[in-house]
Structure 1
Amino acid sequence: MRAWRETFAGLVMMGLCTGALAQSKSSRWSGWRGGRRDGKSRDTGLLKRWPNGGPERLWHVRGLGAGFSSPAIAYDTVYITGGVDGKLVIFAYDLSGRPRWKKEHGETWTRNYPGARATPTLSKGKLYLLSGPGKLVCYDAKSGRRVWSTEMSSFGGSPGGWGYSESVLVASKYVFVVPGGENCMVALDKQTGKVLWQSSGNGGKPHYGSSIVAVLNKVPMIVGSSRNGLFAVRPQDGRVLWTNDFSAGNTANCPTPAYSDGHVFWANGYGKGGVCLRLRATNGKVTAREAWRTRDMVCHHGGYVIHEGYIYGNNSGGWACLDLKTGERMWSDRGVGKGSVCYADGMLYLFAEDRGRVGLAEASPGGLRMSGQFSVEGRDKSWAHPVVVGGRLYLRYADNLYCYDVRR
């Protein structure tokens, strides 16, 4: 068992948790919030200040349909999803914005805030996608050919009021997904879709966040969320390691938890705020104790990143920085307004949820110092997250996908 833990942990620490891609780390973004699901790009040599009007736009495509999913980039291809005429469609473009292929996944979500939700997950030549109604499909990433599929209803799951929104986690040989309820989390064989285990997790109905891998003292864990709050399970068998009910019963738990230096941070919207858990791992057993709670980061959809011991994230109508260990608020600022965030090369890329405002700021506990702003066209709400990879900034706003050159 110890050997298994160390092997799995080694894969994660090598950056293989969501796809051992045959590309340089700087040219791939293998799914939701990147390969490590931390919202942090490994790019360097990027602009520290934008010219008036923003960086150079390389290309722009329209016609994605309705949706809130973010792009995933690998194999010299940009993957994005959208709701078109009641169908969920996967679009694949080359790095110049020219179409490679598109594929209908099935029915899209048509109720509250209709359209695409989850971001595709890429791993070893495959693409994995969960739809709002609950269909999970594995595709060949090069051609769009369907490999296998399953339904969340087969595990007793049913979507919440805003549909399944999880970007499924792929780690080692597993696909981890949260149908919710009695079989709160399920692990599937990523090659065949075969069920490997089913776990009660914390027994909650599905909400709208995605899971992460955390490794502490060579002990790996899958940290997931539901309507009942946070939970962690062993990846090999789904045995529950710990739970936390801080955000249980909240209207909607949307953000993905963040892990750094033995701490798990999770903040949600609707006035809830955040909680930071201090983890301890001994002999394969893990405990999670609340270190602090805060109302200084009330985060609806936009998420947060942890860099050098500080949390930077959306706080109600603006932005805030908190000390990871203590929860002390370092600053709070309006910035571009409520939105989503990505980190790259010492900078924060901020994308407002309305009017297409985009901002660049230094990631510093000393304050939010803006060094460039511009706007993109779109309509209604934008809950997609910005992506910085390969020297480019990708922005999805409604049925538009934009690509900018942000290299120095």
Structure 2
Amino acid sequence: MVTCYCWLLACTANAAHDWPQWGGPARNFKVGGPRLAKTWPSGGPACLWDRPLGDGYAGIASVDNRLYTMYRSAGREYIVALDANSGKTIWQHHYPAPFLPKTDLQPGPGPHATPLVAGDRLCTAGVTGIVHCLDLATGAVIWQRNLVQDFAGTVLFRGYSCNPLRYGDSVILTVGGEGQGVVALTLSQGNVKWKSQNFDISHASPLVIQFHGQAQLVVLASRCIVGMNPDNGLLLWSHEHPMTGGHIASMPVWGTGDRLFFSFAYGGGSYCLQLAEENGTTTTRPLWQNKRMKIHHSNAISNQGYLYAASGDFGPKLFSAINLTTGKLTWQQRTLGRCSLVYRDGNYLILQEDGQLTLATLTPESLKIHAQSQLFEERAWTPPTLAGTRLYVRNRSRIMAYELPAAEP
């Protein structure tokens, strides 16, 4: 391990600013915490530590001064807990994970999914559909399921990538197939609490929204997007779309009040549904479609009626702002290309796929860059994790921690 900077004076992230799952506390890539300074030292944010890690795109969960992620090495998948202050391994669990037939992991062998911290347990999903529930403190296996062997679930060309979602006493996963498009497993033993719906899955992860006082589980599947009751899997609404699951990777975004946005590349474009409540029933209607906004596998963030994300697949990559009411693109620019982003207190931390980090303000009118720093050169498809003033990032071979300057009081 290479220690880049003495971390003894760095502040420990407050538990209220933990990042326990894909997308952060609310699964929307927004997190509270100290205000960040808009200027950085000439060499960029201070590197606290930098250490080797195996291959993969799994995100980094951060809870109580520990980090949790996954990687692949020599045909095995590793689940690892690290000390957030030093990067040292606290525990790891590994298991054989031979690739499934008819999959092609050339863009990266996975794992793809971010571990989920659920109380004193850690839930993970590997690229071959092997799901674990581990003791958070020790890494001991509590239960394990294989979504392909146990359920004959959908096998996608690029492997399994659903980020586990906690709801109450269960962990929810997309599986695919007749009567089991989505499956809820009990956190205690991994038993099936409910399974529901008849569709093949996509690479996109589910989320829970609140609409008129009701929790709704939103799942972007192959050729449809649905709303379900997360307590029992009951279908609340469904809307068809034209794209097959293997070409869908970006999680839907719940916008202001009643707007549900989803997008895919490969010619698919972006869509927005408007939800309404009529006599206790949720209805949906298409609000708009825009073929010029097409999110490949990056995340998107909604703020004050607008959505910001990188658009493009194999052609030009355009960072874009779009109006969630009209579907009108208010600006697009090539500076940032394909990237992922995190929101804090009016500003965005944007990690480009070439390893450059940008601090910017995004508005419906413009992109204003405050600071930039080249963190590394290798491909960065994993969204960064922000906890307090700590930023944790990874590429396909290393994991790093940086201390971001805080704003003056």
Please, what TM-score do these two structures have when normalized by structure 2? 0.89
Counterpart mapping for 1:57-68 below 5 A: 57-62=47-52, 64-68=53-57
Asked if 1:90 corresponds to 2:79, the answer is yes
Q: Which residue of 2 aligns with 1:10?
A: none
- Aligned residue pairs: how many? 380
In 1, distance between residues paired with 2:245 and 2:117?
31
Shift of residue 229, structure 1, vs aligned partner: 3.0
Cα 1:179–1:250 change in 2 (3 A) is: closer
Partners of 1:159 and 1:335 in 2: how far apart?
Answer: 36
Q: Which residue of structure 1 lines up, in the alignment, with residue 118 of structure 2?
A: 123
Taking only the aligned residue pairs, the percentage that are identical comes to: 27
Single out whichever of 234-243 and 44-53 deviates more from structure 2. Answer: 44-53
1:9-408 superposed matches below 5 A:
24-26=15-17, 28-62=18-52, 64-96=53-85, 97-107=87-97, 109=99, 111-112=104-105, 113-153=108-148, 154-182=150-178, 183-200=180-197, 203-249=198-244, 251-260=246-255, 261-316=257-312, 317-353=317-353, 355-379=354-378, 381-408=379-406
**Cα offset, 1:336, TM superposition:** 2.2
Displacement after TM superposition at 1:210 (Å): 0.7
Conservation of the 8 A alpha-carbon contact between 2:131 and 2:145 = yes
Match of 1:369, SS state, is: strand
Specify the SS of the correspondent of 1:25: helix
Query: SS at the partner of 2:77?
Result: strand
Residue 245 of structure 1 and its aligned partner are, at CA, apart by 2.2
Alignment-mate amino acid for residue 90 of structure 1: I
Alpha carbons 1:222, 1:235 under 8 Å: kept: yes
Contact kept in structure 1, 2:35 and 2:344, CA below 8 Å: no
* Contact 1:263–1:279 (Cα < 8 Å) also in 2: yes
Secondary structure of the 2:247 match is coil
Deviations 1:249-305 (CA, angstroms, capped at 9, x unpaired): 265100111113121111111221111111113454211211111123211111100
Amino acid at match of 2:92: K
Please state whether the residue corresponding to 1:351 is helix, strand or coil: strand
State how far apart, in whole Å, the 1-side matches of 2:337 and 2:41 are.
21
Unpaired runs of at least 5, structure 1 = 1-22
Q: Output the TM-score relative to the length of structure 1.
A: 0.89
Distance 1:319 1:108, change over 3 A: farther
Provide the rounded CA distance (Å) in 1 between the counterparts of 2:97 and 2:331. 43
Note the C-alpha offset of 1:138.
0.6
Shift of 1:216: 0.6
Cα shift at 1:407: 3.4
CA RMSD of aligned residues (A): 1.7
Q: Assess if the C-alpha contact under 8 Å between 2:81 and 2:91 holds in 1.
A: yes
CA distance in 2, matches of 1:198, 1:115: 26
Q: CA deviation at 1:193?
A: 1.0
**Shift, 1:311, TM fit:** 0.5
Distance in 2 between the 1:284 and 1:103 partners? 46
Runs of 4+ aligned residues of structure 1 deviating over 6 Å after TM superposition are: none
